[in-house]
Amino acid sequence: MSKLILLSLEGKKLPRPPFWFMRQAGRYLPEYRDIRKRASSFLDLCYQPEIASEITLQPIRRFHPDAAILFSDILVIPDALGQKLEFKEGVGPCLDPIRTAIELKSLSLKSCDKKLSPILETIKYVKEKLPEDVALIGFAGSPWTVATYMVEGGTSRNFISIKKWARNDPNSFNKLMDIIVDSTCDYIIGQIEAGADVIQLFDTWASAVPADQFQKLVIEPTQKIINRVRKIKPKTKFIGFPKGIGSAISYYAKETGVNCLSIDSSISPEIAAKCLHPKYTIQGNLDPIALLVGGNSMLNSADNIIKTLNNGPFIFNLGHGIVPETPPENVELLADFIRSRGKG
């Protein structure tokens, strides 16, 4: 049986759009919270293949989407490079920030493979249990977004430290970006060898990059990753998610070589279709809060998106991740609604 997501990524227009949801595994699911409260930390979950594969499969059993996404996090890269990382309850990720050429020396690519190997094991476990027509999405953070966490020490509001470093000492800052690119390439190649069907690159903070540095900090590192991975694995399909970049999305598509653009909820489906179809597959873009609210208002918004974007290659998704307060019943209602579009 063929995987609908892969057909869509090959540029095919389908009777109903395939779908999955960003953060489909996570705190809004009681079965996730159950496992989570027994684990000592979130990172612990990521590095235990039995548990991480079970969490990956939880939303598949409930909602039967067309893809699973590996349960892990973009911040396993700094962790594997040796940066101290902790996910604090109610706070989020906390890292010992790296802000200078000297502090860069504490990072090492040597331990990466070993540290990340349990995650590749998770992929193998998931593949054994995943229905044949469901794709497995592997992922990584884009270098700029990963670097924001490494330099700011956590989620940032105004990105002062990273912007200062990138301007004041571009040479050493580029070294940081290169370390992230190198480790991410190896990690993605490992994910594909373990069985990932597609790779999504999350550039959640792309919108924080000033226009005059967009090429250097968003486009070039993404190009490097895609080109290098495709040198080894030529058929690799990439979904890019440069969140919040607005009209620069067409330029990003053309320059980076992604197959599919994951668009956030601020981009109108009409404009996205005009700029990107039929050459590129579009993924998105229901507002996660529409999903939280549910009911007809959610279904009307979803219907509008499908009417516009399913005229070309399209994967239904959200504009960003499911928020923890979302009732799982709303996700079920939405999944049934999308599936029903393929009937009759």
Return residues touching ligand CP3 (CB under 6 A).
Answer: 22-27, 36, 42, 69, 71-75, 87, 92-93, 139, 155, 202, 204, 321
Under a CB-based contact definition with an 8 Å cutoff, are residues 342 and 16 in contact? yes
- Residue 251 beta carbon to ligand CP3: minimum distance, rounded to whole angstroms: 21
Q: Given the complex with ligand CP3, which of 47 and 139 has the nearer CB atom?
A: 139
Residue 140 contacts residue 188 (beta carbons within 8 Å): yes
Q: How far is the CB of 70 from ligand CP3 (least distance, A)?
A: 6
Question: 246 or 295, CB closer to ligand CP3?
Answer: 246
Q: How far apart are CA 35 and CA 226, in angstroms?
A: 35
Give the nearest distance from C-beta 287 to ligand CP3 in angstroms.
Answer: 14
**Residue (23 or 175) nearer to ligand CP3, CB:** 23
Q: Considering the complex, what minimum distance in angstroms separates the CB of residue 322 from ligand CP3?
A: 8
Close Cβ partners of 66 (under 8 Å, ≥ 6 residues apart): 3, 4, 5, 18, 19, 20, 133, 134, 135, 315
Phi, psi of 311 (to 5 degrees): -80, -5
Cβ proximity to ligand CP3: between 200 and 310 the closer is 200
Looking at beta carbons only, is 75 or 267 nearer to ligand CP3?
75
For 20-49, the DSSP string reads --TT-SSTTSHHHHHHHHHSS-HHHHHT-H
> Rounded to an integer, what distance in angstroms lies between the CA atom of residue 322 and that of residue 32?
14
Residue 58's CB: how many other CB atoms inside 10 A?
20
The smaller minimum CB distance to ligand CP3, of residues 73 and 79, is found at: 73
Q: What is the dihedral of CA 181, 218, 281, 298, to 10 degrees?
A: 110
* Nearest distance in Å: CB 73, ligand CP3: 4
Minimum distance, C-beta of residue 155 to ligand CP3, in the bound complex (Å): 5
Which of 74, 290 has the CB closer to ligand CP3? Answer: 74
Q: Provide, rounded to whole angstroms, the least separation between the CB of residue 139 and ligand CP3.
A: 5
Spell out the residues 6+ positions from residue 303 whose beta carbon is closer than 8 angstroms to its own: 337
Which two three-digit tokens encode residue 119? 């995650």
Taking the least distance from each CB to ligand CP3, the nearer of 190 and 312 is: 190
158 token code pair: 């105004």
Task: From 286, 280, 247, select the one nearest 264 (Cα to Cα).
Answer: 286
Are 88 and 154 a contacting pair, CB within 8 Å?
no
Give the residue among 260, 287, 141 at the shortest CA–CA distance from 198: 260
* Smallest separation, CB 22 to ligand CP3 (Å): 5
Q: Are 298 and 291 in contact (CB under 8 A)?
A: yes
Output the smallest distance, CB 107 to ligand CP3, in A.
18
Cα four-point dihedral sign 323, 315, 145, 95: positive
Angle of CA points 142, 146, 149, to nearest 5°: 155
Cβ-based nearer residue to ligand CP3, 2 or 155: 155
